[in-house]
Amino acid sequence: MATKRPDTRAPVTPGDLDPVIHERVRLSIVSTLAARRQVDYLELRTLLGLTDGNLAGHLRVLERARYVEFEKSFVERKPRTTYRLTAAGRRAFQKHVEALAALLPPRGGR
Domain ranges of the chain: 16-102
Report the predicted TM-score, pTM, of the whole model to 2 decimal places: 0.82
Residue 106: predicted pLDDT = 74
Nearest to 21 by CA among 32, 29, 13: 29
* H or E element at residue 60: helix 52-64
CATH of domain 16-102: 1.10.10.10
Residue 47: predicted pLDDT = 96
Tell me the C-alpha distance between 59 and 63, whole Å: 6
> Bridge partners of 71?
82
Tell me the C-alpha distance between 58 and 55, whole Å: 5
Residue 100: predicted pLDDT = 86
Model pLDDT for residues 45-104, shown as the tens digit of each residue: 999 999 999 999 999 999 999 999 999 999 999 999 999 999 999 999 999 998 888 877
